[in-house]
Structure 1
Amino acid sequence: MRKLMVTTFMSLDGVMQAPGGADEDREGGFEHGGWAVPYFDPQLIEVMTAVARRAGALLFGRKTYEGFAATWPLAEADDPIGSRMNTLPKYVASRTLDSVSWQNSTLLTGDVAEAVGRLKREEGGEIQVHGSGGLIQTLIGHDLVDEFHLVVFPVLIGSGKRLFAEGTVPGGLKLVDTATSGTGVQISTYARAGKLEYGAMGPETGNW
Protein backbone atom coordinates (compact mmCIF):
# COMPACT_ATOMS: atom_id res chain seq x y z
CA MET A 1 0.00 0.00 0.00
CA ARG A 2 1.43 3.36 -1.00
CA LYS A 3 1.60 6.11 1.61
CA LEU A 4 -0.35 9.30 0.89
CA MET A 5 1.20 12.41 2.44
CA VAL A 6 -0.34 15.87 2.58
CA THR A 7 2.27 18.63 2.76
CA THR A 8 0.86 22.05 3.56
CA PHE A 9 2.02 25.58 4.29
CA MET A 10 -0.28 26.96 6.97
CA SER A 11 -0.53 29.86 9.39
CA LEU A 12 -0.57 29.37 13.15
CA ASP A 13 -4.37 29.67 13.06
CA GLY A 14 -4.66 26.99 10.39
CA VAL A 15 -5.11 29.00 7.19
CA MET A 16 -3.57 27.42 4.07
CA GLN A 17 -4.96 29.75 1.40
CA ALA A 18 -2.59 31.48 -1.04
CA PRO A 19 0.74 31.27 0.82
CA GLY A 20 2.82 32.00 -2.27
CA GLY A 21 1.46 35.13 -3.93
CA ALA A 22 -1.14 37.90 -3.95
CA ASP A 23 -3.15 36.44 -6.83
CA GLU A 24 -2.67 32.76 -6.04
CA ASP A 25 -6.20 32.33 -4.68
CA ARG A 26 -8.51 35.29 -4.00
CA GLU A 27 -11.63 33.16 -3.53
CA GLY A 28 -13.87 34.50 -0.81
CA GLY A 29 -12.26 37.94 -1.09
CA PHE A 30 -9.00 36.71 0.43
CA GLU A 31 -6.55 39.62 0.61
CA HIS A 32 -3.53 38.12 2.35
CA GLY A 33 -1.93 36.14 -0.47
CA GLY A 34 1.84 35.71 -0.20
CA TRP A 35 1.93 35.56 3.60
CA ALA A 36 4.51 32.73 3.67
CA VAL A 37 7.10 34.30 1.36
CA PRO A 38 8.92 36.55 3.89
CA TYR A 39 9.77 33.51 6.04
CA PHE A 40 11.57 31.44 3.42
CA ASP A 41 15.25 30.84 4.11
CA PRO A 42 17.85 28.29 2.90
CA GLN A 43 16.95 25.86 5.69
CA LEU A 44 13.26 25.79 4.73
CA ILE A 45 14.11 25.38 1.06
CA GLU A 46 16.41 22.48 1.98
CA VAL A 47 13.59 20.79 3.91
CA MET A 48 11.15 21.17 1.02
CA THR A 49 13.77 19.82 -1.39
CA ALA A 50 14.11 16.71 0.77
CA VAL A 51 10.33 16.30 0.78
CA ALA A 52 10.21 16.54 -3.02
CA ARG A 53 12.90 13.88 -3.33
CA ARG A 54 10.75 11.45 -1.31
CA ALA A 55 7.84 11.62 -3.72
CA GLY A 56 6.93 8.80 -6.07
CA ALA A 57 3.93 10.66 -7.50
CA LEU A 58 2.03 13.92 -7.07
CA LEU A 59 -1.70 14.42 -6.61
CA PHE A 60 -3.38 17.78 -7.26
CA GLY A 61 -6.73 19.48 -7.33
CA ARG A 62 -7.50 21.61 -10.37
CA LYS A 63 -6.47 25.04 -9.04
CA THR A 64 -3.13 23.92 -7.67
CA TYR A 65 -2.43 21.87 -10.79
CA GLU A 66 -3.06 24.84 -13.07
CA GLY A 67 -0.87 27.09 -10.93
CA PHE A 68 1.99 24.61 -10.76
CA ALA A 69 1.70 23.72 -14.46
CA ALA A 70 2.08 27.39 -15.34
CA THR A 71 5.25 27.92 -13.29
CA TRP A 72 7.29 24.76 -12.62
CA PRO A 73 8.01 24.01 -16.29
CA LEU A 74 9.88 27.35 -16.32
CA ALA A 75 12.35 26.11 -13.69
CA GLU A 76 15.98 25.54 -14.64
CA ALA A 77 16.94 21.93 -15.34
CA ASP A 78 19.18 21.83 -12.26
CA ASP A 79 16.48 23.18 -9.91
CA PRO A 80 16.16 20.26 -7.44
CA ILE A 81 12.47 20.85 -6.68
CA GLY A 82 11.48 21.88 -10.20
CA SER A 83 13.15 18.86 -11.78
CA ARG A 84 11.16 16.55 -9.50
CA MET A 85 7.89 18.38 -10.08
CA ASN A 86 8.34 18.22 -13.84
CA THR A 87 9.35 14.57 -14.14
CA LEU A 88 7.25 12.79 -11.49
CA PRO A 89 3.92 11.16 -12.42
CA LYS A 90 1.14 13.63 -11.67
CA TYR A 91 -2.54 12.86 -11.06
CA VAL A 92 -5.20 15.55 -11.25
CA ALA A 93 -8.64 15.40 -9.62
CA SER A 94 -11.03 17.72 -11.46
CA ARG A 95 -14.68 17.80 -12.50
CA THR A 96 -14.10 20.53 -15.08
CA LEU A 97 -10.86 19.75 -16.93
CA ASP A 98 -11.07 17.66 -20.10
CA SER A 99 -7.33 17.19 -20.49
CA VAL A 100 -3.98 17.89 -18.79
CA SER A 101 -0.82 18.82 -20.67
CA TRP A 102 1.94 19.15 -18.07
CA GLN A 103 4.57 16.45 -18.52
CA ASN A 104 3.57 13.04 -17.09
CA SER A 105 0.12 14.23 -15.98
CA THR A 106 -3.00 12.04 -15.86
CA LEU A 107 -6.57 13.20 -15.30
CA LEU A 108 -8.45 11.10 -12.74
CA THR A 109 -11.98 10.16 -13.76
CA GLY A 110 -14.99 9.02 -11.78
CA ASP A 111 -15.24 9.17 -8.00
CA VAL A 112 -12.14 10.88 -6.59
CA ALA A 113 -11.97 8.86 -3.37
CA GLU A 114 -12.23 5.59 -5.28
CA ALA A 115 -9.60 6.70 -7.81
CA VAL A 116 -7.17 7.70 -5.07
CA GLY A 117 -7.83 4.46 -3.24
CA ARG A 118 -6.82 2.59 -6.38
CA LEU A 119 -3.64 4.67 -6.70
CA LYS A 120 -2.71 3.80 -3.12
CA ARG A 121 -3.07 0.10 -3.86
CA GLU A 122 -0.70 0.27 -6.83
CA GLU A 123 3.05 -0.28 -6.65
CA GLY A 124 5.21 2.81 -6.32
CA GLY A 125 6.56 5.40 -3.93
CA GLU A 126 4.89 7.97 -1.72
CA ILE A 127 1.98 9.97 -3.16
CA GLN A 128 2.25 13.64 -2.17
CA VAL A 129 -0.49 16.26 -2.16
CA HIS A 130 0.69 19.88 -2.33
CA GLY A 131 -1.76 22.77 -1.93
CA SER A 132 -5.12 21.52 -3.25
CA GLY A 133 -7.24 22.58 -0.28
CA GLY A 134 -10.55 21.30 -1.68
CA LEU A 135 -9.10 17.93 -2.64
CA ILE A 136 -7.49 17.57 0.79
CA GLN A 137 -10.91 17.96 2.46
CA THR A 138 -12.19 15.06 0.33
CA LEU A 139 -9.16 12.92 1.20
CA ILE A 140 -9.48 13.66 4.92
CA GLY A 141 -13.22 13.01 4.81
CA HIS A 142 -12.60 9.56 3.32
CA ASP A 143 -9.72 8.79 5.71
CA LEU A 144 -7.19 8.45 2.88
CA VAL A 145 -4.34 10.51 4.37
CA ASP A 146 -1.55 8.56 6.05
CA GLU A 147 0.76 11.41 6.99
CA PHE A 148 0.61 15.19 7.41
CA HIS A 149 3.72 17.28 6.76
CA LEU A 150 2.79 20.64 8.26
CA VAL A 151 4.89 23.73 7.65
CA VAL A 152 3.51 26.23 10.17
CA PHE A 153 4.43 29.89 9.75
CA PRO A 154 4.44 32.29 12.73
CA VAL A 155 1.57 34.43 11.46
CA LEU A 156 -2.12 34.86 12.28
CA ILE A 157 -4.43 35.52 9.34
CA GLY A 158 -7.91 35.23 10.82
CA SER A 159 -9.81 34.21 7.68
CA GLY A 160 -9.41 31.96 4.69
CA LYS A 161 -9.42 28.29 3.80
CA ARG A 162 -8.21 26.02 6.59
CA LEU A 163 -6.56 22.63 6.41
CA PHE A 164 -8.64 20.91 9.08
CA ALA A 165 -12.10 22.09 8.16
CA GLU A 166 -15.53 20.73 9.06
CA GLY A 167 -15.76 17.07 8.08
CA THR A 168 -12.30 16.11 9.33
CA VAL A 169 -12.32 12.49 10.51
CA PRO A 170 -11.41 12.31 14.24
CA GLY A 171 -8.23 10.37 14.89
CA GLY A 172 -4.95 10.23 16.75
CA LEU A 173 -1.62 11.40 15.33
CA LYS A 174 1.97 10.52 16.14
CA LEU A 175 4.74 13.11 15.83
CA VAL A 176 7.39 11.58 13.57
CA ASP A 177 9.75 14.50 13.08
CA THR A 178 9.99 18.19 13.89
CA ALA A 179 12.36 21.08 13.24
CA THR A 180 12.32 24.87 13.31
CA SER A 181 13.78 27.12 10.63
CA GLY A 182 15.83 30.23 11.33
CA THR A 183 12.77 32.39 10.64
CA GLY A 184 10.61 30.54 13.18
CA VAL A 185 8.76 28.22 10.80
CA GLN A 186 7.78 24.98 12.57
CA ILE A 187 8.12 21.94 10.32
CA SER A 188 6.43 18.82 11.71
CA THR A 189 5.47 15.44 10.31
CA TYR A 190 2.59 13.51 11.85
CA ALA A 191 1.55 9.94 11.04
CA ARG A 192 -1.94 8.58 11.62
CA ALA A 193 -2.10 6.68 14.90
CA GLY A 194 -5.48 5.04 15.22
CA LYS A 195 -8.68 6.31 16.76
CA LEU A 196 -9.11 9.42 18.87
CA GLU A 197 -8.78 8.51 22.54
CA TYR A 198 -10.41 10.22 25.53
CA GLY A 199 -9.78 10.78 29.20
CA ALA A 200 -10.54 13.11 32.08
CA MET A 201 -8.48 15.58 34.11
CA GLY A 202 -8.91 16.98 37.58
CA PRO A 203 -7.85 16.37 41.20
CA GLU A 204 -10.47 13.65 41.60
CA THR A 205 -9.01 11.62 38.70
CA GLY A 206 -5.36 11.68 39.75
CA ASN A 207 -4.51 13.30 36.40
CA TRP A 208 -3.71 16.75 37.76
Structure 2
Amino acid sequence: MGRIIISENITIDGVIEVSAGADGSGHGGWFARTADRDRTAWAKVGIEEALGARALLMGRRTHAWFVERGWVSRGDEWAERLRELPKHVVSSTALDAAGWRNSTALRGDVVRGVAELRADVPGDVIVYGSGRLVRTLLEHDLVDELRLMTFPFVVGAGERLFGAVSAMKPMRLVDSRAVGDGLASLVYRPDRDA
Protein backbone atom coordinates (compact mmCIF):
# COMPACT_ATOMS: atom_id res chain seq x y z
CA MET A 1 0.00 0.00 0.00
CA GLY A 2 1.27 3.41 -0.92
CA ARG A 3 1.31 6.69 0.91
CA ILE A 4 -0.19 9.95 -0.30
CA ILE A 5 2.40 12.66 0.38
CA ILE A 6 1.38 16.31 0.02
CA SER A 7 4.42 18.43 -0.85
CA GLU A 8 3.70 22.15 -0.85
CA ASN A 9 5.61 25.40 -1.15
CA ILE A 10 3.82 27.68 1.27
CA THR A 11 4.24 31.10 2.85
CA ILE A 12 4.18 31.65 6.59
CA ASP A 13 0.54 32.74 6.28
CA GLY A 14 -0.51 29.67 4.29
CA VAL A 15 -0.51 30.96 0.70
CA ILE A 16 0.40 28.40 -2.00
CA GLU A 17 -0.22 30.62 -5.03
CA VAL A 18 3.26 30.93 -6.54
CA SER A 19 2.63 32.56 -9.91
CA ALA A 20 2.00 36.27 -10.22
CA GLY A 21 -0.65 37.29 -12.74
CA ALA A 22 0.35 37.96 -16.35
CA ASP A 23 0.61 41.65 -15.49
CA GLY A 24 2.75 40.95 -12.41
CA SER A 25 -0.15 41.50 -10.06
CA GLY A 26 -1.50 38.86 -7.75
CA HIS A 27 -0.02 37.35 -4.67
CA GLY A 28 2.24 34.70 -6.13
CA GLY A 29 5.36 36.73 -6.88
CA TRP A 30 6.88 35.72 -3.55
CA PHE A 31 8.48 32.56 -4.96
CA ALA A 32 10.53 34.55 -7.49
CA ARG A 33 11.89 36.69 -4.64
CA THR A 34 13.53 33.70 -2.97
CA ALA A 35 17.31 34.04 -2.56
CA ASP A 36 19.48 31.91 -4.86
CA ARG A 37 21.02 29.97 -1.97
CA ASP A 38 17.58 29.09 -0.64
CA ARG A 39 16.32 28.11 -4.09
CA THR A 40 19.33 25.80 -4.57
CA ALA A 41 18.73 24.14 -1.19
CA TRP A 42 14.99 23.87 -1.98
CA ALA A 43 15.74 22.17 -5.32
CA LYS A 44 18.02 19.63 -3.61
CA VAL A 45 15.18 18.66 -1.27
CA GLY A 46 12.80 18.43 -4.24
CA ILE A 47 15.13 16.17 -6.20
CA GLU A 48 15.60 13.85 -3.21
CA GLU A 49 11.84 13.68 -2.73
CA ALA A 50 11.25 12.88 -6.42
CA LEU A 51 13.90 10.16 -6.39
CA GLY A 52 12.03 8.47 -3.53
CA ALA A 53 8.61 8.70 -5.19
CA ARG A 54 6.81 5.99 -7.14
CA ALA A 55 4.16 8.23 -8.75
CA LEU A 56 2.77 11.76 -8.92
CA LEU A 57 -0.83 12.81 -8.32
CA MET A 58 -2.00 16.27 -9.34
CA GLY A 59 -4.89 18.36 -10.46
CA ARG A 60 -5.31 19.41 -14.09
CA ARG A 61 -4.20 23.01 -13.46
CA THR A 62 -0.98 21.92 -11.73
CA HIS A 63 -0.27 19.44 -14.53
CA ALA A 64 -0.73 22.26 -17.07
CA TRP A 65 1.53 24.54 -14.98
CA PHE A 66 4.39 22.00 -15.19
CA VAL A 67 3.88 21.54 -18.93
CA GLU A 68 3.74 25.29 -19.61
CA ARG A 69 6.97 25.88 -17.69
CA GLY A 70 9.00 23.40 -19.68
CA TRP A 71 9.26 20.44 -17.31
CA VAL A 72 8.48 18.18 -20.28
CA SER A 73 11.81 19.06 -21.93
CA ARG A 74 14.14 20.38 -19.22
CA GLY A 75 17.43 18.50 -18.98
CA ASP A 76 18.07 18.57 -15.24
CA GLU A 77 17.91 15.58 -12.88
CA TRP A 78 14.67 16.68 -11.21
CA ALA A 79 12.77 17.16 -14.48
CA GLU A 80 14.10 13.87 -15.87
CA ARG A 81 12.88 12.02 -12.77
CA LEU A 82 9.44 13.63 -12.94
CA ARG A 83 9.17 12.64 -16.62
CA GLU A 84 9.88 9.00 -15.69
CA LEU A 85 7.26 8.84 -12.96
CA PRO A 86 3.66 7.83 -13.70
CA LYS A 87 1.51 10.95 -13.38
CA HIS A 88 -2.13 10.59 -12.34
CA VAL A 89 -4.05 13.75 -13.15
CA VAL A 90 -7.48 14.45 -11.67
CA SER A 91 -9.35 15.85 -14.64
CA SER A 92 -12.79 15.62 -16.17
CA THR A 93 -11.32 16.53 -19.57
CA ALA A 94 -8.88 14.74 -21.85
CA LEU A 95 -5.21 15.49 -21.31
CA ASP A 96 -3.16 16.95 -24.13
CA ALA A 97 -1.61 13.99 -25.91
CA ALA A 98 1.48 16.11 -26.64
CA GLY A 99 1.85 17.03 -22.97
CA TRP A 100 3.87 15.30 -20.30
CA ARG A 101 4.63 11.63 -20.97
CA ASN A 102 3.40 8.97 -18.54
CA SER A 103 0.36 11.12 -17.71
CA THR A 104 -3.08 9.58 -17.38
CA ALA A 105 -6.36 11.18 -16.39
CA LEU A 106 -8.00 10.06 -13.16
CA ARG A 107 -11.72 10.56 -13.80
CA GLY A 108 -14.89 9.93 -11.88
CA ASP A 109 -15.11 9.78 -8.11
CA VAL A 110 -11.86 11.41 -6.93
CA VAL A 111 -12.00 9.94 -3.43
CA ARG A 112 -12.51 6.38 -4.69
CA GLY A 113 -9.91 6.83 -7.45
CA VAL A 114 -7.25 8.12 -5.06
CA ALA A 115 -8.02 5.38 -2.51
CA GLU A 116 -7.51 2.79 -5.28
CA LEU A 117 -4.30 4.49 -6.41
CA ARG A 118 -3.03 4.48 -2.84
CA ALA A 119 -3.78 0.75 -2.59
CA ASP A 120 -2.12 -0.04 -5.94
CA VAL A 121 1.11 1.97 -5.79
CA PRO A 122 3.77 0.38 -3.55
CA GLY A 123 5.41 3.56 -2.29
CA ASP A 124 5.08 7.30 -2.09
CA VAL A 125 2.64 9.14 -4.33
CA ILE A 126 3.66 12.81 -4.29
CA VAL A 127 1.12 15.61 -4.72
CA TYR A 128 2.58 18.95 -5.84
CA GLY A 129 0.45 22.11 -5.81
CA SER A 130 -3.14 21.08 -6.61
CA GLY A 131 -4.79 23.08 -3.82
CA ARG A 132 -8.36 21.96 -4.53
CA LEU A 133 -7.31 18.33 -4.74
CA VAL A 134 -5.30 18.59 -1.51
CA ARG A 135 -8.30 20.04 0.34
CA THR A 136 -10.43 17.10 -0.88
CA LEU A 137 -7.79 14.58 0.20
CA LEU A 138 -7.49 16.18 3.64
CA GLU A 139 -11.26 16.22 4.08
CA HIS A 140 -11.50 12.50 3.28
CA ASP A 141 -8.48 11.44 5.38
CA LEU A 142 -6.45 10.33 2.35
CA VAL A 143 -3.27 12.20 3.34
CA ASP A 144 -0.50 10.15 4.92
CA GLU A 145 2.06 12.93 5.19
CA LEU A 146 2.08 16.70 4.77
CA ARG A 147 5.42 18.25 3.76
CA LEU A 148 5.38 22.03 3.96
CA MET A 149 8.37 23.92 2.57
CA THR A 150 7.75 27.19 4.35
CA PHE A 151 8.99 30.38 2.69
CA PRO A 152 9.68 33.51 4.80
CA PHE A 153 6.94 35.70 3.39
CA VAL A 154 3.63 37.01 4.63
CA VAL A 155 1.62 37.98 1.55
CA GLY A 156 -1.76 38.61 3.15
CA ALA A 157 -3.90 37.17 0.35
CA GLY A 158 -3.89 34.57 -2.39
CA GLU A 159 -4.89 30.95 -2.73
CA ARG A 160 -4.37 29.20 0.58
CA LEU A 161 -3.70 25.55 1.20
CA PHE A 162 -6.20 25.04 3.95
CA GLY A 163 -9.93 25.67 3.79
CA ALA A 164 -12.93 24.64 5.78
CA VAL A 165 -13.10 21.02 6.94
CA SER A 166 -16.03 19.13 8.39
CA ALA A 167 -14.00 18.13 11.45
CA MET A 168 -10.63 19.01 12.95
CA LYS A 169 -7.70 17.07 11.47
CA PRO A 170 -5.10 16.49 14.22
CA MET A 171 -1.52 16.30 12.93
CA ARG A 172 1.75 15.32 14.57
CA LEU A 173 5.04 17.04 13.71
CA VAL A 174 7.54 14.33 12.72
CA ASP A 175 10.36 16.44 11.29
CA SER A 176 11.48 20.03 11.05
CA ARG A 177 14.67 21.48 9.64
CA ALA A 178 16.11 24.62 8.14
CA VAL A 179 16.64 24.57 4.38
CA GLY A 180 19.13 27.08 3.06
CA ASP A 181 19.21 30.34 5.01
CA GLY A 182 15.52 31.19 5.14
CA LEU A 183 13.28 28.18 4.46
CA ALA A 184 11.83 25.70 6.93
CA SER A 185 10.76 22.17 6.07
CA LEU A 186 7.92 21.00 8.31
CA VAL A 187 6.64 17.43 8.05
CA TYR A 188 3.37 16.34 9.63
CA ARG A 189 1.48 13.07 9.75
CA PRO A 190 -2.14 12.59 10.72
CA ASP A 191 -2.54 11.80 14.39
CA ARG A 192 -5.40 9.36 14.04
CA ASP A 193 -5.28 8.48 17.75
CA ALA A 194 -5.86 12.07 18.90
TM-score normalised by the chain length of structure 2: 0.89
Q: 1:124 to 1:100 in 2, by over 3 A?
A: farther
Residue 57 of structure 1 contacts residue 126 of structure 1 at CA under 8 Å; is this kept in 2? Answer: yes
Structure 2 unpaired stretches of 5+: none
| Aligned ranges 1:17-96 → 2 under 5 Å | 17=17, 19=18, 21-23=19-21, 31-39=26-34, 40-70=38-68, 71-76=70-75, 79-95=76-92
Larger radius of gyration: 1
Q: Distance in 1 between matches of 2:14 and 2:193?
A: 22
Percentage of matched positions with identical amino acids = 35
Q: Which has the higher contact order (CA 8 A, sep 6+)?
A: 2
Which stretch has the larger CA shift, 160-169 or 51-60?
160-169
Aligned to 2:94: 98
Are 1:156 and 2:154 an aligned pair?
A: yes
Aligned to 1:118: 116
Aligned to 1:205: none
Q: Distance in 1 between matches of 2:159 and 2:20?
A: 15
Q: What is the Cα deviation at residue 114 of structure 1?
A: 0.5
Once the two structures are superposed, residues 105-164 of structure 1 have per-residue CA deviations (whole angstroms, 9 ceiling, x without a partner) of 110121011100000111422101000111111111111001000011111111111111
Across the two proteins, how many residue pairs are aligned to each other? 188
1:107 to 95, 105, 108: 105
TM-score normalised by the chain length of structure 1: 0.83
Q: CA RMSD, aligned part only? A: 2.0
